[in-house]
Structure 1
């Protein structure tokens, strides 16, 4: 297998792309739900259904974008030109996502839905090519892990900025509508700049000259690719857990943990980001010593355990205990992240060696859809759970509502973490398996 060592500059540029995308993911997970409910004034259920509507539209846009990336090439390669084309609309969409328009409830809901759809489509134009980049900048699976080890801590730096400075900023003024809009005008501009930095400083080294097979053939290839199906299912289940947790984090931090001002909320929310930086770094250390698939599985079981312990041991108003456990939960739950995203390309390659059908474009598009499907499913789940415990944005929550926030924040995600670990029992492509597959040009003996 050809080995390509990536420079620090290229790894940094690759990570910068995910910084831009993560700003949107975090904004559309831990902040948008609170913005729609607490600032725009939508009900928790309606806000949840907006998330589901947008992700349903992604069912079309993500696979279509995957097909486009497999068919449209330029002198920059197959993927990088999309990053340049999509950067500016993406930045604009972030600003629009956190604006509010209309006098009536229906007008506000229509504006929020439309802005979210635009943001989601702009995200897709960048995300599908970006996810695919790791498969063409190096063929070495260990180097892919190293690149992802740069990528995810950098992405979590973006998470840290958005999840701490934005909540702090919007509590400083008297008009949260204006504060959110101004914050994301700046955030959108920064996103454009760092996405362009990524596009101009990575190199596509692996060139696939063969024309992509017909769509029907690619669909058949994915239908028979069990490893891709395992990763897809794990993606859906995992992101349901992540988004239920992320959607209520800022509400849990204030109503349950007792963060009473912008500084307290910023400190609490920063723990999720710090954990997201430490988790991938710990993952790199662990995967050098142990099978990466086992590391993935046991990190999911560990995440469930820590979540249950947080629910059992931390009481309402115990800010420092809640903050410490939020950090610990975030570290353990993010260990899987570099493994998950590097496994997508390897699962796609598995299908090519299995059937001879290169369905990489469609495979990446559908993986992104599975991520967004999980995020979308989490929307109504979160909305109905919050409605079920009697949560509203107005007034002081009752003791029963506060207790309910704890099990929504901790026990519900724990269930989905356990399910993700169980699903990954059926994934077999570790580094040794992948090396043998590529060297032989076919699946190893005894493969599923």
Structure 2
């Protein structure tokens, strides 16, 4: 087994890649839904179905991209060349996603759907190879955790910038349509530079020399991989909770917490990103002393508890309390993040240990499918819940809708966090198990 210690610079380069991708993830989770409702003028239900349709299309493209990464190799390896190829289209797609074209409702809806599909496909071209990179940089599970510990705080720095700068920029005055477009022209250009920096400064050390498994055999292998199936369920359920929470965060901040100006909403949104930086750092400290699987599971229960407490204790208009609890909830819910993404690779590799079938590329692609499926399902759930409580983007928000926002923001995600913890009861690939597994049965064709 190749235990490679990574330099600080290479860990930083690897983490930088997620900074670029996170710009799109955050745009598609905490900004696009509000943009479609408040700027484009779509109804909550229509906006929710756009998210569902686009993410479903995107979800099916993920396993196809996983198959493609197994077949196409260059002098850069299996993954890095995709980051080089996809960087520019990805940057352009971010700008198009936040532009408004069309005079009629149907024309605006068609443009928003098409731009979102383009952004999602451009994201897939980068995301599947990037997720897979950690498996070929090193086989040391602790180094993977350490690299992910760089990755996620750096990604949350990008989240902090986008979730603070953009809400402030579009709230402080001027035409919201043009301000969104200008903001994402800038962040799109930055994301291109970041992705190229990542591609040229990490190294693929673990080489697969064996031919790719036939697709039917890979599918059979995945179906027999109980740990991969369990992690797939985790991705669906967890990301429903994340996206319901993220989709209404800016609305909750304005209507419930009473962050009425650019500074207030920027502060409220920024603490969610700060929690995303602190959470993975806490995770790194905890996993040095405790089993990472138990840390993951109990962080989900703690996430549910803090969300319920926030719903119970924080009254409407308590901006300070709502902001502090949003920080706490975000911190606790992100403790799982480095563990989750390192576990994805290990669960895919477990399939070879159990069945002798190497389906790691397809497995990672299908995990991303499950992530997108969860994000897609969250769209209609959020839309119908907002419609049920009577939320209107234009005009005053009724007292019933304001209280409903609190429930959607906090109690609904708490339910999905609890279910995630329950699913994890049957997941057992911790560091010790993984080291023993790889020592017993080396992955095919690796050097």
Structure 1 length normalisation: TM-score? 0.98
1:170 aligned partner = 170
Matches within 5 A, 1:49-128: 49-128=49-128
Distance 2:348 2:35 in 1: 37
Q: 1:60 Cα shift?
A: 2.3
Q: Describe the superposition over 1:21-65 as per-residue Cα deviations: whole angstroms up to 9, x where unpaired.
A: 000000001000000000000000000000000111123211110
Gaps of 5+ in 1: 444-448
Matches within 5 A, 1:286-305: 286-305=286-305
Matches within 5 A, 1:185-200: 185-200=185-200
2:152 aligned partner = 152
Give me the CA root mean square deviation.
Answer: 0.9
2:362 aligned partner = 362
Distance 2:264 2:60 in 1: 41
Distance 1:3 1:385 in 2: 49
2:249 aligned partner = 249
1:197 counterpart SS class: helix
- Total equivalences in the alignment: 443
Q: Describe the superposition over 1:87-106 as per-residue Cα deviations: whole angstroms up to 9, x where unpaired.
A: 00000000000001000000
Distance 1:289 1:59 in 2: 36
Kept in 1: contact 2:45–2:380 (CA 8 A): yes
Matches within 5 A, 1:17-416: 17-416=17-416
Distance 1:302 1:48 in 2: 28
Distance 2:352 2:102 in 1: 50
Distance 1:330 1:171 in 2: 23
Kept in 1: contact 2:172–2:261 (CA 8 A): no
Q: Describe the superposition over 1:255-298 as per-residue Cα deviations: whole angstroms up to 9, x where unpaired.
A: 00010101000000001100000000000000000000000000
Q: Describe the superposition over 1:97-126 as per-residue Cα deviations: whole angstroms up to 9, x where unpaired.
A: 000100000000000000000000000000
Kept in 2: contact 1:354–1:442 (CA 8 A): no
1:410 counterpart SS class: helix
Q: Describe the superposition over 1:206-263 as per-residue Cα deviations: whole angstroms up to 9, x where unpaired.
A: 0010111100000000000000001110000000000000000000000000101010
Q: 1:81 Cα shift?
A: 0.1
Q: 1:398 Cα shift?
A: 1.3
1:258 counterpart SS class: coil
Q: 1:442 Cα shift?
A: 7.9
Distance 2:278 2:181 in 1: 31
Q: 1:367 Cα shift?
A: 0.6
Distance 1:16 1:219 in 2: 32
Kept in 1: contact 2:59–2:368 (CA 8 A): no
> Which range moves more in the overlay, 431-440 or 184-193?
431-440
1:316 counterpart SS class: coil
Q: 1:440 Cα shift?
A: 1.4
Distance 2:330 2:277 in 1: 9
1:124 counterpart SS class: helix
Kept in 1: contact 2:36–2:42 (CA 8 A): yes
Segments of 4+ moved more than 4 angstroms? none
Structure 2 length normalisation: TM-score? 0.98
2:431 aligned partner = 431
